Structure 1
């Protein structure tokens, strides 16, 4: 089996990743230095009861994900490369190289990998409460009742994880696919960022990476989606979208067939212009929330989604603002952006967000994509850890 694997080595005191080819005809990784564990296929089969359907907990473009119980009692999530995955090999080795060098309470832990025969497997810590997307706007039976303190803590945790990736870790990394399905929740509802299959090294300070566009439509920063101009501020933009979702309990984009697509960010900008930002708050919270904290989170989210990448704050600044250790500057929306939302569309957006039934992610496009050039509407790859519960209406609708 031929593949590309990322190897870590030191260069003038700085960790970098190097690409090189391997030949794995004996079923082993050869010449690969990884800071992660290695498991045998026998161990994984035993843990998952030979990949039994009852242990299957999700499906992404990368392939199926299984719950497993290791011999020492550790509960794990096993992500299996699908033979149909076009981007899987690249994302598999990319994820090993990236996440094996990262340790942070708000990043999902990679226990190890298994490369044996024709199997490519990643073994993660098991996250009892699945994804933030399912908790907020998944099928009603699987949504969690997240009170405001929990939502605020989740938002701060995501921000801390991104601040670590951008500014504190040995490797400066741009995740490229921050979204609610890639934020997992443990048994205590602590958030952990997952899926580093599309992550890129940010090796040069104050410069951008010119790269093919990869990510999820609706979460990608405009300069990146349109021009492939990538900096850590692309993650900041994506975080801003997720923060709006946490406040509102709604997915950023509507995606019902034969209907116009509406974006939560547009709705937030309309409410900002009208001075009615509190209308954005999830009705399920009732009046049980800290109004000052809510306004801080909304305004921080709007700062993060500024059309100008240079105007967006760093993630360390975001953490400080969310924690009340720094003032939040007033966000002044680009007048051209708001003016482009004409009166008719504005009214349609208002009707959708105010009067539509509770929104779920049923039928929504939440998968990652990897494309050359501007987005054209097709999803060619995904590597969500376990974005969908098998008995959800969403999965059934795709059969």
Structure 2
């Protein structure tokens, strides 16, 4: 029996028909059976009736680990690249802002403010460009208030809910930066209720920005000449008050600031009106600060045709009397509601200043005064107003009155017309206008502009 078992165990079952798949190797093992071994790279039992030989399926766990590792590496790389990019961009932006700050005259502005504001606590704020972008909805065209030779003005709303006017200056070359710096320095010295208030500036943009108080009611020019405005809203008494307020502001610039300031572009489109039609002189881009040891300066002629002082135009010598001439044109415009320069009228009427002077000399003032003003005002008052304008329009500067004299005369005329209790107190160096409440308007020489308020209480013995 043992011999039979030994004989059967020696049979090689791989030599006969077997269940191994093609390419699988048959092994006569274990005894009494056989196994099928798959070729290298394939997995399975190698049998046709079994799992055969197949390519191994990827291990899901290993794939997940690999994928996760790759993802973490990619994310880490992206974060690192993003951080480096942001850091470089921030550094580049800082350098750009520093470059623009210098290009826009930031260093010059600091020097000028340090020079003109020694001992002063009142300084203009330096706004960031982000603040002003938010205020104007990224300088949306819908917020444009107006455009002119000096730049574009946008309406903005600051985070503290103050409504402001933001002026984007037109600077095409580096030489014009001085005009911008000039305007900042000039305005930051001024503290007067009839001069538009400068709140601050921004130097982080390609073109510098100025931030002013918002004056909501347009300009005198708008009210006198725009089809959307009604000039009759400016009654005789309102025009007289506007003239007196503007004269007071210009007298303040000439005599009450620490260093005299010549506006150099006085015109109706540069006199804003608030909700109460109170006048506010604006746009100081062309202004000049006059050295204390000089009464005139020689400079390139700047101004607006029709308002430009002929003497200044011919000699390039700028004095305070150049503002007086321009203001004379404003007075003529307030009386007649005619433009300083018009091209749709007869030749002898195109230049308002010349036409006004001739009409006054020929005794024809009432013929050129706006009709409803003739009906509202007394003839004597119109004549006195016209004579003030006529004296301002003298061709020789030395024959014109000072703005201090003009302001006194207009205020006196306004008091007479309005019939209130104001009294003019005049002296050689100053004058004050007192009303019944004890409040005065003060214009005097040698007073620091930053410490002088245009309205102050009249003390005892004064």
Conserved? CA contact 1:176–1:235, under 8 Å: yes
Q: Equivalent of 2:161, from 63, 69, 73? A: 73
Matched residue, 1:124: 212
Larger radius of gyration: 2
Q: Equivalent of 1:103, from 166, 191, 197? A: 191
Matched residue, 1:391: none
CA distance in 1, matches of 2:237, 2:348: 34
1:220 matched to 2:308? The reply is yes
Cα shift at 1:292: 2.6
TM-score (norm 1): 0.71
CA distance in 2, matches of 1:87, 1:261: 38
Cα shift at 1:279: 1.7
1:187 matched to 2:279? The reply is no
Matched residue, 1:141: 228
Q: Secondary structure at the match of 1:122?
A: strand
CA distance in 2, matches of 1:290, 1:81: 44
CA distance in 1, matches of 2:360, 2:282: 32
Distance change >3 Å, CA 60–CA 87, structure 1 → 2:
farther
Cα shift at 1:177: 0.5
TM-score (norm 2): 0.62
Conserved? CA contact 1:81–1:88, under 8 Å: no
Conserved? CA contact 1:8–1:34, under 8 Å: no
Once the two structures are overlaid, the 10-residue window that deviates more, 85-94 or 187-196, is 85-94
1:57 matched to 2:152? The reply is no
Matched residue, 2:403: 315
Conserved? CA contact 1:134–1:143, under 8 Å: no
Conserved? CA contact 1:61–1:85, under 8 Å: no
Cα shift at 1:40: 1.1
CA distance in 1, matches of 2:355, 2:391: 15
Match runs of 1:236-255 below 5 Å: 236-255=324-343
Aligned length: 307
**C-alpha distance after superposition, 1:332-364 (max 9, x if no partner):** xxxxxxxxxxxxxxxxxxxxxxxxxxxxxxxxx
Distance change >3 Å, CA 303–CA 60, structure 1 → 2:
same
CA distance in 2, matches of 1:100, 1:218: 29
CA distance in 2, matches of 1:246, 1:168: 26
Distance change >3 Å, CA 206–CA 288, structure 1 → 2:
same
Misfit runs of 4+, over 4 Å: 83-88, 256-261
Q: Which has the higher helix share?
A: 2
Distance change >3 Å, CA 314–CA 73, structure 1 → 2:
same
CA distance in 2, matches of 1:10, 1:100: 12
CA distance in 1, matches of 2:333, 2:241: 14
1:162 matched to 2:250? The reply is yes
Conserved? CA contact 1:253–1:262, under 8 Å: yes
Conserved? CA contact 2:272–2:281, under 8 Å: yes
Q: Secondary structure at the match of 1:111?
A: strand
**C-alpha distance after superposition, 1:123-153 (max 9, x if no partner):** 1111111111111112x11344211110000
Conserved? CA contact 1:300–1:318, under 8 Å: yes
Q: Secondary structure at the match of 1:130?
A: coil
Cα shift at 1:61: 2.3
Cα shift at 1:187: 1.1
Cα shift at 1:258: 12
Q: Secondary structure at the match of 1:267?
A: helix
Distance change >3 Å, CA 269–CA 83, structure 1 → 2:
closer
CA distance in 2, matches of 1:262, 1:164: 32
Cα shift at 1:35: 2.3
Matched residue, 1:283: 371
**C-alpha distance after superposition, 1:60-116 (max 9, x if no partner):** 123221111111111101111346578752321110011011110111001100111
Once the two structures are overlaid, the 10-residue window that deviates more, 234-243 or 250-259, is 250-259
The higher-RCO structure (CA 8 Å, 6+ apart) is 1
